[in-house]
Structure 1
Amino acid sequence: MTTRELHLNAFLMDTGHHEASWRLPESDPYAHVDLRHHVHLARIAERGAFDSLFLADGPQLWGSLAQRPAGALEPLTLLTALATATEHIGLIATASTSYNSPYNLARRFASLDIVSGGRAGWNIVTTAGAEAARNFGLADEPPHAERYARAAEFLDVSLKLWDSWEDDAVVADKAAGVWGDDGKIHPPRHRGTYFGVEGALNVPRSPQGYPLLVQAGSSADGRAFAARYAEAVFTAQQTLTGARSFYADLKARTRRAGRDPDHVKVLPGIVPVLGSTEAEARANEQVLEDHIVYEHGVRRLESLLRLEPGTLELDAPLPAGLPPESAVEGAKSRYTLVVELARRERLTVRRLIGRLGGGRGHLTFAGTPEQVADRIETWFTQGAADGFNIMPAVLPSGLDAFVEHVVPILRARKLFRAEYGPRRTLRDRYGLPRPANQYLSPAFA
């Protein structure tokens, strides 16, 4: 038995993470824009006492409309609605540092943290891809290193803005006619390479101080960024050995950055496909694979690998001579993961698309609830994870099955909480301290 506490995050995606999930008889093809659907999912996850739920996002129309439900509600707007429909679960949204401004984004996250009573989290991304860049007047995506340099300055400015109000800046002295103390406001007056931000935020300091900071890049630049800023890291890992290596490396980088490694929670993604028996789970997985339209998968894979259309053959392996990660400016770590998966397991393009159809490179696992719990426990206890990003292949049934059948096993093994308890904020759930205001530190004075 371990004394560490397992963390679970529900990664929600329309009808499920499997690209063919929308084709199943149970699925609603319009669920991605249905508030009731998202409220239902949030309440299922909260019934399971999950630490948080997460909505991915990007500033472009992703993929082909023919493949799966496309487009999504803006996540901070949606999470604000979910804050009123839930009481405990953390609410994490993706937002890009490449195509936002620090002032507006800091204000939106502070507002969500206030509305939710301290349950907001920000998944910080730099946004790869020329499609997004062209939506903002650029001819192509900025270079990988430049995106991370901008992200670092974006975070520094955001932290200054969140700290620009001291916690006790509001006096509310009716008798004296004094609402607030101007001496406890600290305008950033920031002038940097990418941003110039003069004034204080127009929202008070939020319950958590600032939202939980999450990061998902696993490249060298991504790991360096995570070591400096992140408090939770979403990662895609295919093997226990690879996950342990990533975990150890990130914890060591965090320590070298002068931070407590326990204050960075590593959460690999897992796509569980459950059955009452192993054979039933495999059959459920096969039903999903049988609904894949491989032409869609080929186009997506060629785009990821920066190949000309028509390059890949379904029943052949990936072509030799693919460029190294260093030559890729887009999603570097995902590129490497996919290529290594195909080479390591000698997959044809058809089989590779089948493997990627469930989780786009995240670990997919079909089995009984006990087998899924075994896999989670092994990674958790053997230095590969602090918790997991649960990515149900089909929603809502996959999340409901995980809560009903896997969570009780994790609780029986003393790995996961039985209830939320007195902890109120998302930081509390992740065992993290509330950050001190930088303007009150001896170094600032």
Structure 2
Amino acid sequence: MTRQLHLGGFQIASQVTHSHAAWRHPGSDTGFTTPEYYHRIGRILERGKFDFVFFADLLAAPVRFGADITEPLRRGTQATATLDPSIVAASIGAVTSKLGVAITKSATYFHPYELARIFASLDHITRGRVAWNIVTSLTQSEAQNFGHDDHLDHEFRYERADEFVRTALELWSSWDPDALVLDKATGVFADPDRVRRVEHDGRFFKSRGPLNVPHSPQGRPVLIQAGASNTGRDFAARWAEAIFEIDPTPEGRRAYYDDIKSRASNFGRNPDGVLIFPAFIPFIGETESIAREKQAFHNELADPISGLITLSVHTDHDFSQYDLDAPVEDVQVTGTQGLFDTARRVANRDNLTLRDIGKWYAQGVLLPQYVGTAAQVADQIEESFRAGEADGCMVSAAQSPGTFNDFVDYVVPELQRRGLFRTEYQGDTLRDHLGLSSTTERVAHAVA
């Protein structure tokens, strides 16, 4: 069968996603606190046969650039106001029938039993369309919201997350698929021989089990990750079935793709079972000139300070202490190290100041911008797909829901005409859409 492209739509349950200009755009819907906002996006993406909508998340308002939250509130930066994505996922699942829903939950500030129960329940409610984006969280503010003085060390977080995932997998496998009997005649609700305790007693977690949610349609959620640092890449290659990636350059994306596939193979996994989704922001017009006008209008709305506020959050490093018109310094960050390394690499190449980086970051958090007619945007996607940079794409909006509408109305048909993307869903679960195998063998391998 011809290799097929996969598509995800990037969201945060908030007024800002990658584009910090999006909420200010005259065409954007700012009703992010209403169910209708998410229902509309879900229906658009399902109409376009997208594999899933993806919700990133943070567990704290951005208190990292300077002393307080005044500027983030005034400017409306990423995660200043954000709904819980698990609630949004259930709402989207109720008004769609095929679209997958991927949500972010932290392996640092939840317990494996609590998280396993949430995702098993969501997998039932969506009839097998849920994915877990595994993060270890970023900032000291998140730690303080959960009663801790300091955020855990980067390497330690990943050690802990490794056991967290193992424990969750054990809990999801504590019910056999046929354990729920529901035989009214005999009065047998469930077969006790097909439900077992977990008795996990590890370095970081204890959980007796079993989970009190029956085996879900997928067995467990699709696992997603976005490892960028060396440790993060190992973690992603070991556990993830889909990986969300940010790199503004083709050479960076190719290097990442090859590296992750190699690491997955070294972990004894089939590299084809690890799908990589680099993200981009499209600007689509009837002509290239119109598309570039859309891009210029959007980019001019981007505020450098807003970008630096979010960069400070993502790296857990206060960039307000530096001269904004000086070159980007070589600093050690405790948050997303790989993301800052990418920003610094491009800044050094193009002689950008910190203010320039802030402007760029506010335009899309390092995402490349694909600009042109539907055919030209499809050309860029196809080139990335065929050049060994991607198994799929994560589409992020410059305005919502207008970007998704344009992409579905104009780019998706072009991809379909080229035979790159499905014309209909071929199954019902997210695993079906992504072409991933059943979970039974994978779980057995993972927890061994």
TM-score by length of 2: 0.92
CA contact (8 A) 1:20 1:68 kept: no
| TM-superposed deviation, 1:338 | 1.0
The 8 Å contact of residues 302 and 312 in structure 1, kept in 2 or not, is answered as no
Give the C-alpha shift of residue 253 in structure 1.
Answer: 0.8
Confirm whether residue 309 of structure 1 aligns to residue 320 of structure 2. Answer: yes
Secondary structure of the residue that 1:272 maps to in structure 2?
strand
Residue 371 of structure 2 aligns to a residue whose secondary structure is strand
State whether structure 2 residue 435 is matched by structure 1 residue 431.
yes
Please list the CA deviations of residues 165-195 of structure 1 after superposition, one character each: whole Å capped at 9, or x if unmatched: 0111122333332222111112110111111
Alignment of 1:128-147 (within 5 A): 128-147=138-157
Task: Say if 1:299 and 1:128 are closer, same or farther in 2 by CA, change over 3 A.
Answer: closer
TM-aligned CA deviation for residue 331 of structure 1: 0.8
Q: What is the DSSP-based 3-state SS (H/G/I as helix, E as strand, rest coil) of the residue aligned with 1:65?
A: helix
Deviations 1:83-109 (A, max 9, x none): 110010001000000000111111010
Q: 1:404 aligns with which of 402, 405, 409?
A: 409
1:38/1:440 CA distance change after superposition, 3 Å: closer
Which of 268, 272, 282 is 1:258 aligned to?
A: 268
Q: 1:163 to 1:183 in 2, by over 3 A?
A: same
C-alpha deviation, 1:420, in angstroms: 1.1
The secondary structure found in structure 2 opposite 1:33 is coil
Aligned partners of 2:288 and 2:371 also within 8 Å: yes
* Structure 1 position 275, deviation (Å): 2.0
**How far is 1:307 from its partner?**
4.7
2:27 corresponds to which letter in structure 1? Answer: E
Give the 5 Å matches for 1:20-31.
Answer: 20-29=21-30, 31=31
Secondary structure of the structure 2 residue equivalent to 1:309: helix
Q: Distance in 2 between matches of 1:300 and 1:86?
A: 32
Residues 131 and 222 of structure 2 are in contact (CA less than 8 Å); yes or no, is this contact kept in structure 1?
Answer: yes
Q: Is the 8 A contact 1:62 1:71 kept in 2?
A: no
The alpha-carbon deviation at position 377 of structure 1 amounts to: 0.5
Aligned counterpart, 1:57: 57
Cα deviation, residue 241, structure 1 = 1.2
Contact kept, 8 Å, 2:20 with 2:306, in 1: the verdict is no
CA gap 1:43/1:438 in 2 versus in 1, 3 angstroms:
closer
Aligned twin of 2:238: 228
Cα-to-partner distance string for 1:103-131 (whole Å, 9 max, x where unaligned): 11110100010011100000000001111
Letter in 2 for 1:35: P
User: What is the identity, as a one-letter code, of the residue corresponding to 1:66?
Assistant: R
Alignment deviations for residues 233-262 of structure 1 (CA, whole Å, 9 cap, x no partner): 001011111111111111111111111111
Where in structure 1 are there 5+ consecutive unaligned residues?
Answer: none
Q: Name the residue aligned to 2:18.
A: 17
Q: Distance in 1 between matches of 2:321 and 2:262?
A: 43
Superposed, 1:37-436 pairs within 5 Å as 37-62=37-62, 64-68=72-76, 70-301=80-311, 304=315, 306-307=317-318, 309-314=320-325, 316-319=326-329, 322-323=330-331, 327-421=332-426, 423-436=427-440
**Structure 1 residue 280, shift from structure 2 partner:** 1.7
Corresponding residue pairs, total:
434
**8 Å CA contact retained: 2:304, 2:360:** no
Whether the 8 Å contact between 2:280 and 2:395 is mirrored in structure 1 is: yes
SS of structure 1 residue aligned to 2:439: coil
SS for the counterpart of 1:336 is helix
Query: Percent identity at matched positions?
Result: 38
More moved, 61-70 vs 202-211: 61-70
Letter in 2 for 1:426: L
Specify the code of the residue in structure 1 equivalent to 2:322. Answer: T
- Residues 1:72 and 1:365: Cα distance change in structure 2 (over 3 Å): same
Matches of 1:288 and 1:397 in 2, distance apart? 13
Q: Secondary structure at the match of 2:108?
A: coil
The amino acid across from 1:223 in the alignment is R
CA contact (8 A) 1:113 1:207 kept: yes
Secondary structure at 2:73 match in 1: coil
Counterpart-to-counterpart distance in 2, 1:200 and 1:72: 32
| Cα shift at 1:295 | 3.3
**1:195-238, CA deviations, whole angstroms, 9 ceiling, x for partnerless residues?**
11012000001000100000012111111111111000001011
| Paired AA for residue 73 in structure 2 | L
- Seen in structure 2, the aligned counterparts of structure 1 residues 171 and 297 have a Cα distance that, compared at 3 Å, is closer
Question: How far did 1:353 drift?
Answer: 2.6
Q: Secondary structure at the match of 2:131?
A: strand
Amino acid aligned to 2:247: Q
- SS of the counterpart of 2:293? helix
Residue type matched to 1:361 in 2?
L
Q: Hey, what does 2:33 align to over in structure 1?
A: 33
Return 5+ residue gaps in structure 2 as ranges.
64-71
Go from structure 1 to structure 2 and tell me whether the alpha carbon gap of 1:40 and 1:159 turns closer, same or farther (over 3 Å shift).
same
Check the 8 A contact 1:120/1:211 in 2, yes or no. yes
Quick one: distance in 1 between partners of 2:399 and 2:306? 19
State the distance in 2 between where 1:261 and 1:335 align: 27
CA distance, structure 1, for counterparts of residue 265 and residue 380 of structure 2: 28
Partners of 1:181 and 1:247 lie apart in 2 by 44
Q: Tell me how large the CA RMSD over aligned residues is.
A: 2.0
User: For residues 48 and 298 of structure 1, what CA distance do their matches in structure 2 show?
Assistant: 34
Q: What is the alpha-carbon distance in structure 1 between the residues aligned to residue 234 and residue 367 of structure 2?
A: 21
